Amino acid sequence: MSYVGRSVDERARMLAAVGVSSFEGLLVDVPEELRIHEPLAVPPAASELELRAEIGALAAKNDAAKDMPSFLGAGLYDHYIPSALPRVALRSEFMTAYTPYQPEVAQGTLQVIFEFQSMIAELTGMDVANASLYDGASAAVEAAYLARNQTGRARVVVAGLVHPNSIGALRTFLGPDVVTVLAPDPATGTVSAAALGGALDDTVACAIFQYPNFVGAIEDVPALCAAAKAKGALAVAVADPIALALLTPPGALGADLCVGEAQSLGAPMSLGGPVCGFFAGRKEFVRKFPGRIVGETRDQHGRRGFVLTLQTREQHIRREKATSNICTNQGLIALMNTIYLGLVGKDGLYEVANLSFQKTHYAVARAAAVAGVQPAFTGPFVREAALRLPVSAAQAVRAGRTHGMLLGVDAGAFDPAHADILLVAATEKRTRDEIDRWAVALAKSIGRTPQLEGGAR
């Protein structure tokens, strides 16, 4: 296949116009020792039909192609994507546009980002949000950078069960010695304000906690924020935007920054990318924000318009003095998030969050009837439930597949100490029937005889 439209005659005319007799005449500066003259060692070209067959066959090998109810979460969620969303989001006008560097011909992209910023600020209870970052992990890393820049302090303290992959990224970006992770209370899965306060001193730039945390537990956010403030550290909340429809937003509880993963707002999981990091905070920090920010202005005729603003923070102006090396945002995914919030709206988002909450609680109630399965932690939970199994969770989820069910996430893959913990997340997509079948599959997968419960149907 080729996407080049060129005849032999046109090529000859162009070479003649340029004044060379052959194409090689244009490569005068390329040293021969770098050249290759043999064909690249990749397979021969495939037509669309062949490509569809080849990649279709690969896609069909993934469980996502099969009709397996999924109870997987751990930061990425299988929510319903309304039909109108892809129809609008995948329009060429959005999909094939570049970064809005010429705002006169990019008002569509720019206004969408402004609306995204507005709704993220509303959900998080913050003053401002940026145009998005690569993913939730990069948002956490950038929050730490901002805190270091703001406070002049180097260290970062992570309160317990923040997403392990975000902790991994923090260690990669900041250095392992810089990041201290506090162990959670084994009973509750949360970190107390006293424990956090004890770990903070004048070398710590920020305390990062997750709300709800990796296992769905609710940290004592007001107390953690107060503990951070008492030691001059920024309070950074990592949050889930769907859960924030039910929960008091971090901005109202004392957090300085609120970051997280926005995939659950209408974007497909896509093996974890492209997804979309959001980044919100109090307005006093906005000049230290990473990435793009869109602001409202007027054109020469007084009409409202939108532009990228505060660009002097960014790498293409400030180079090595930039607040971050980030150049792109996740425009297309932020667009999906924006359309999603528009389509479900105020009441719809609440219903999605509440249905997910109720169904996850129902799943836990069903699991409690399976011998040997019990909640891993005491205390309230949202978004995720952590179940302690009598066998390894890795073994259970593999067995679950043979029963046609994606049972949940093996927490042991993230922390060997949690090898017997299964993380379960049911969204509004899961029906009561599927949850009942899930409980049966769970029982079978851990080698128990499923009970046929009365009253469940």
Residues within window 289-348 making contact with another protein, judged by CB under 8 A: 292-307, 309-310, 314-322, 324-333, 335, 338-339, 341-348
Interface size with another protein, residues (CB under 8 A): 207
Residue 300: CA count within 13 A, CB half-sphere: 1
Count of CB atoms within 10 A of residue 199's CB? 20
Among positions 400-429, residues that touch another protein (CB under 8 A) are: 401, 406, 409-410, 413, 428
CB of residue 371 to another protein, shortest distance in Å: 22
Among positions 149-178, residues that touch another protein (CB under 8 A) are: 163, 165-166, 168-169, 171-173, 175
State which of residues 8, 69, 87, 187 lies at the interface with another protein (CB under 8 A): 87
Identify which of 268, 293, 285, 259 has the alpha carbon closest to the alpha carbon of residue 123: 259
Regarding 391 and contact with another protein (CB under 8 A), the answer is no
**Residue 4, φ and ψ in degrees, nearest 5:** -100, 125
**Distance between CA 248 and CA 255 in Å, rounded?**
11
Q: Please say whether the beta carbons of 265 and 336 come within 8 A.
A: yes
Q: Please say whether the beta carbons of 238 and 211 come within 8 A.
A: yes
Among positions 431-450, residues that touch another protein (CB under 8 A) are: 431-432, 435
In three-state secondary structure terms, 194 is helix
Regarding 94 and contact with another protein (CB under 8 A), the answer is yes
Q: Please say whether the beta carbons of 209 and 233 come within 8 A.
A: no
Q: Residue 335: which residues within 8 A CB-CB, separation 6 or more? A: 89, 94, 109, 112, 116
Contact range with another protein by CB under 8 A, out of 95-103, 183-191, 228-236, 444-452: 95-103
In three-state secondary structure terms, 125 is coil
Among positions 22-81, residues that touch another protein (CB under 8 A) are: 23, 25-31, 33-36, 39-48, 51-52, 54-65, 70, 72, 74-76, 78, 80
Identify which of 430, 385, 433 has the alpha carbon closest to the alpha carbon of residue 411: 385
State which of residues 8, 21, 69, 86 lies at the interface with another protein (CB under 8 A): 86
CB of residue 130 to another protein, shortest distance in Å: 9
Nearer to another protein, 398 or 449 (CB): 398
- Per-residue string for binding with another protein, 360-389, x by CB under 8 A? -xx-----------------x-x-------
Strands (E), 302-352: 304-308
Contact range with another protein by CB under 8 A, out of 197-205, 231-239, 264-272, 370-378: 264-272
